[in-house]
């Protein structure tokens, strides 16, 4: 008998940094493996992705968007909603809504045969378990962060807790190179139940408890799909290989414009401006879709860019623009070397030959995009896995430098200028950084093409779920 077509429901947390890689994976499964995909994120994010669509379902022959409701269909407002309550409500409401989608697909004769769930969505695994279908975690952070979390939740919590007061204290975890406390994800170094990150820790722990449950039920290693490549994080993948099979299927770059929750600046003025700049001369600055910078930090970046004398393209979201700050109009001729936009197509920008440096918050999407495009980085990590990503850039791959911050946590203007010289200037170290950036561009792109390690892993995963 002919096997039924695979139909994967991909469940995604409603944040830009989660939607980007999850949607890219979904598109790759459809285009390269012919798998039917139903992509489901929360209603509030779905509406921002498709503001001109009244219908809840958009589809072609193999790809459908069906949003689930987390109870916050009109969006989350931090001025009104408590984040802890919202996270728990989203789990309860989302579980019911996503289960209804699965059951409705079965009733329509298109049963879901597998569920892939992303960060903070481990409750989707219970839906799959209740219906007797397999589920897989899609890890959207580096495998190194996964390995740190794994060891933290399995025997090493007390060891790390004893060192968290010293950011420079060295930590040795099984199979990983020595790292300092400041290089670890902030969720494992939070030592206060009232700290700014404590609210998220239970939901991260839940992801690993879900994997432990899978191990106990199946008596086998769970498979975790990861947006990385074997070549990028071999030691991290091997450090948990006895317990978990991490399958690198990335890094994923495709510029999926339809997944954006933000509207790029109109026209293509910033791309036209890049066309007029010299090769590898432009500093690109972006701190992602979530980080809200202090007014003083915006001022320091502004001063540092002006003092560097280099052309720059700077993304400053509306919620990072403080009253009274003038970032575009100035009599100083140096200011005219730059352009400030509210949002842009990052994949296109990083791929432009004029871009010579990326000043980044080190979100994993931005990190892998910098590798794929061969752009050296100045790392300014804020929280979560960004700290580990900065370590990977500087120490593991050698493609950038981490900026130091003041006692108030600010990257000051002169420090930014110093880092830009290290990455973009003349001399042995800048040349070595650029050489390694070019090397990793080649390695990461080779991993994703037909026959590359990540492409082989993706095809093996599809075969696994079909067997």
- Helix, strand, coil shares of the chain, percent, nearest 5, are 45, 15, 40
22: nearest Cα among 290, 263, 250, 288: 250
- The label of the residue with tokens 């003041």 reads 406
- The label of the residue with tokens 């839906």 reads 127
Q: State yes or no: is 18 an active-site residue.
A: yes
- The label of the residue with tokens 């403080």 reads 322
Residues 310, 337 contacting (CB under 8 angstroms): yes
Cβ-proximal residues to 428 (8 Å cutoff; 6+ apart), any chain:
none
Q: Annotated catalytic residue: which of 18, 352, 361, 455?
A: 18
> CA–CA separation, 193 vs 343, rounded Å?
35
What are the start-end ranges of the H helices in 266-376? 269-275, 295-308, 346-350, 364-373
136: nearest Cα among 276, 316, 37, 8: 8
Alpha-carbon torsion 161, 167, 169, 170, what sign? Answer: positive
Cβ-proximal residues to 43 (8 Å cutoff; 6+ apart), any chain:
56, 67, 68, 69, 70, 73
Which residues are catalytically annotated?
18
């Amino acid at each position: 008998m002919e096997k039924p077509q695979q139909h994967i429901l991909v469940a995604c947390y409603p944040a830009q940094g989660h939607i980007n890689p999850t949607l890219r994976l979904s598109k790759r499964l459809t285009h390269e493996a012919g798998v039917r995909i139903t992509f489901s994120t929360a209603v509030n994010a779905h509406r921002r992705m498709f503001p001109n669509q009244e219908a809840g379902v958009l589809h072609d022959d193999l790809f459908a968007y069906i949003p689930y409701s987390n109870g916050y269909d009109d969006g989350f407002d931090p001025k009104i909603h408590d984040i802890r309550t919202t996270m728990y409500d989203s789990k309860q409401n989302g579980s019911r809504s996503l289960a209804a989608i699965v059951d409705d697909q079965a009733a329509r004769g298109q049963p879901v045969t597998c569920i892939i769930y992303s960060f903070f969505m481990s409750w989707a695994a219970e839906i799959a378990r209740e219906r007797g279908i397999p589920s897989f975690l899609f890890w959207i952070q580096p495998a190194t962060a996964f390995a740190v979390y794994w060891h933290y939740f399995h025997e090493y919590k007390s060891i790390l807790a004893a060192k968290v007061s010293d950011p420079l204290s060295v930590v040795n975890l099984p199979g990983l190179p020595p790292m300092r406390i400041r290089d670890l994800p902030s969720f494992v170094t939070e030592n206060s139940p009232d700290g700014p990150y404590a609210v998220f820790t239970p939901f991260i722990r839940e992801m690993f408890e879900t994997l432990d449950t899978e191990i106990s039920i199946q008596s086998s290693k769970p498979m975790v799909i990861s947006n990385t490549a074997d070549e990028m994080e071999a030691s991290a993948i091997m450090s948990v290989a006895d317990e978990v099979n991490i399958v690198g299927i990335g890094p994923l770059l495709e510029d999926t414009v339809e997944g954006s929750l933000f509207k790029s600046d109109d026209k293509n003025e910033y791309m036209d401006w890049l066309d007029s700049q010299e090769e590898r001369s432009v500093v690109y600055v972006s701190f992602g879709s979530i980080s809200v910078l202090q007014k003083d930090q915006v001022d320091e970046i502004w001063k540092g860019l002006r003092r560097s004398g280099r052309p720059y393209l700077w993304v400053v979201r509306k919620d990072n623009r403080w009253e009274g700050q003038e970032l575009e109009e100035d009599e100083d001729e140096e200011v005219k070397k730059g352009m400030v936009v509210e949002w842009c197509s990052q994949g296109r920008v990083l791929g432009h030959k004029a871009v010579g440096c990326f000043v980044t918050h080190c979100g994993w999407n931005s990190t892998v995009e910098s590798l794929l495009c061969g752009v050296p980085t100045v790392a300014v990590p804020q929280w979560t896995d960004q700290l580990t990503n900065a370590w990977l850039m500087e120490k593991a791959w050698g493609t950038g430098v981490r900026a130091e911050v003041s006692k108030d946590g600010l990257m000051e203007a002169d420090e930014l200028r110093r880092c830009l010289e290290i990455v973009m200037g003349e001399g042995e170290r800048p040349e070595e950084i650029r050489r390694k950036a070019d090397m990793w561009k080649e390695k990461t792109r080779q991993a994703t093409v037909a026959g590359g390690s990540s492409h082989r892993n993706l095809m093996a995963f599809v075969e696994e779920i079909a067997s």
